[in-house]
Structures are given as C-alpha cells and as structure tokens.
Amino acid sequence: MNEDLNLTGSQYNIALTVFFFPYALLEVPSNMMLKIVKRSVWIAGMMLSWSLVITLTGIVKDYHGLVAARVALGAAEAGSFPASAYLPTTWYKRLELQSRMGILYSSASMAGAFSGLLAFGLQEMDGIGNLAGWRWIFIIDCIATVVVGASCFWLLPDSPETASFLKPTERNFLIDRLRANAGTKSGKVGTHDKFHWPTIKSCFTDLNIWLAVIAYWGNTVAIYGFNYTVPSVILDLGYTAAQAQLLTIPIYATALIVMFLIEINADKYQTRWPFIVGPYSILAVGFIGLLSIPHPRLPGLTYAFLFCIPVGVYPALIGLIAWIGNNLAPSWKRAVGMALFITLGNLGGAVGSNI
C-alpha cells in the first residue's frame, strides 16, 4: 500500500489517526438514534454504509484519497460499537450480561485470527484484474459486510416487546424480569422510557463513567497499537510478510479461548472487578516482557509475550462495558452513557495508532 499510494513519512499513521475523530464524535448521537428509530434499520444502514466506504478504500489512488476514505469510514462505523454494547442490556439481566457480551465480542478475536488468514490468501491475488493484493482485501471484506448488513433488516430483533419469534407470555416474562433487575432506586425500568434532558445531562457528571474512561484508555491505546503493529513486530523476528500474517492467528485464537473462560466466570461468581484487574495484570506482564527482551535476539520469547496483549485487553474491555451497562439506568441514560464511555475511551485509539 505504501508504495502504490506513494506514502511517505508519517502519512500512513495520519491516515490511521483521522479515523478516530468522526468515529468518536458520532457515537453518542448514533446511540440516541437507537432510541428513536428501529434498531434493525439503523444498524443495517450503518453496515451497508461502511461496506460502501470499504470498497472505495480499495480503489483510492493517493494519500488524500486514503485520508478521505478513513474519515468516511470513521463516520460510518461510529455507531457500531456502542450499539452492540447497549443492545444486550435490553435483553439480559445484569448478572447475565458479561458472559453474553463475551460471546458477542468474541467476534473481535475471531476477526483478528481470520483476518491474518484472509490477508495471507488475498495477497496471493496480487495482480488479478490489475489490482494489488491489498486492494482485494478491501473489496472482499465489503462483500461479506453487505451480506451481513442486509440480513439485519430481517434477522435483528428490535426489542423483547416486538420480537416476532417470542410468544406473548415469553415477551411478558422477559420484560418483567428486566424491569425487576434494573438496578435503579425505584427497582424498575423499561426499554421505552421517554426522553428526559436531565437524564442525558447526568451522563456527563457521573463519576463512574469518567473513572471507567481512564481504565478504558489503558485498553484502547494498547489494542490499537498492538493490532496495527503486531505483523510488523513478527516480521522483524525474521519471518516473511506472509508468515507474519499467519502467526497472528494463534495469538488471537488464544485470546478468544481465555476471554470465554473469564467472562463466563465473571457472571458465575457475580462480580466484575477481579475479572477486569486480572486481565489488565496479564497485559502489563506482556508489555514489561516485550520491553525487557533484547529485540529481536530472542524471537521465540518475544512471540510468546505477544500473546499476553490480546489475552489481557479483550476480557478487560468486556468487563468494563458490562460494569458500565450494569450501573446505568434508566435506558436513555444507559444508551447515552455507554456511548459516551466508548466515545471518550476510543480517543485512545488515536494515540495507539501512532505508537
């Protein structure tokens, strides 16, 4: 890509960084839209929008085109993360949430593992249709996103109250159990409470959100820095570019397994903090080890410590999201507060992408 687009100096890092500003700016408005329009329509629309942008990224000709595509992608993807964090809270009780989010966010680890294999295969398409291999990666990614995005119109249920696959008695059961487990002073909250401006304002003065943001920065700086650089680190250990992509697969696959175990036990023991502090400790061990090793003289040891990064980051992230989701109510505050938490936290990605 650098050669095809004539990228020089820090231009590649700048292109990575500009993604985060529209991404962060639009997360709260997007989650507010989830309370106004049908969720299936809004989420499907977002996915189809960013699939179009991904396609256009595959045909950019220069640095300016790449920057424009990254800005557009940040705007299109802005609502995806906060929406996927908020929606499970409308279906599951507080102490059922972290294990369900673990299943949901396992897609991040699976994507990391699969993307290495996909990139390895698509690089072999280099020259087909007079297109470079990296361009084919964007084009093929677009096709998969269009299929999933279009299916959301019909397959994604908007809420327990409107789920067509539930019987009336099942709907009432789900609604009642959620209201009784809301965590509010009144003890009850629905998913269709009305907009109340003081409720929205309270998100910006809630100390719990701001403390969680600080912890979240320890996550986003680490994971974005890791995701963007891990193939290069492995490449410096003496492997080829293709081998470096393949060697990322075991790292993400291990993170997936550990994440499942941690999130299931967090709900089983009905507590959050040990399952946040523990993964962050593993993350710290990984970074300390990588900083201590005379790189690249001990390639096996360096590669081993790389496993600690996603193994620590992904479970801790899910724990933070579940903790915030457990303690924000009513549902308007939960929707906006979770989006605000993710918005401020994701700004750490602008730092991580430049490491």
d(C-alpha 202, C-alpha 205), whole Å: 5
pLDDT at 187 (0 to 100)? 45
Residue 350, classed as helix, strand or coil, is helix
Among candidate residues 22, 27, 29, the one with its CA nearest the CA of residue 53:
22
d(C-alpha 10, C-alpha 140), whole Å: 27
The amino acid at residue 126 is D
- The residue written with tokens 């820095």 in the block is 225
d(C-alpha 27, C-alpha 160), whole Å: 24
pLDDT at 57 (0 to 100)? 84
Give the Cα-Cα-Cα angle 257, 261, 265 (nearest 5 degrees): 170
Tens of each residue's pLDDT in the chain, 355 residues: 777 787 887 888 888 888 888 988 899 899 889 888 888 899 999 999 988 898 888 888 888 898 999 999 999 998 888 888 888 888 888 888 888 888 877 776 677 667 767 777 776 776 676 777 778 878 887 887 888 888 888 888 888 888 888 899 998 998 888 877 765 554 445 555 667 788 888 888 898 899 989 988 888 888 878 877 888 888 888 888 778 878 888 998 898 889 989 999 998 988 889 999 999 999 999 999 988 888 777 888 999 999 999 999 989 989 998 888 888 877 888 889 988 998 888 777 777 766 6
End-to-end distance of the chain based on CA atoms, in angstroms? 19
pLDDT at 343 (0 to 100)? 86
Rg (CA), the chain: 21
d(C-alpha 165, C-alpha 200), whole Å: 33
The amino acid at residue 266 is A
pLDDT at 45 (0 to 100)? 92
- Per-domain residue ranges of the chain: 11-158+168-177+197-352
The conformation of residue 160, written as its DSSP 8-state character, comes to: T
pLDDT at 307 (0 to 100)? 94
The structure tokens listed for 266 are: 């967090």
The conformation of residue 87, written as its DSSP 8-state character, comes to: G
- The residue written with tokens 């294990």 in the block is 99
Residue 331 CB neighbours (<10 A): 22
User: Domain 11-158+168-177+197-352 classified CATH 1.20.1250.20?
Assistant: yes
The structure tokens listed for 319 are: 């724990």
Residue 165 CB neighbours (<10 A): 6
The amino acid at residue 80 is S
pLDDT at 163 (0 to 100)? 86
The amino acid at residue 195 is F
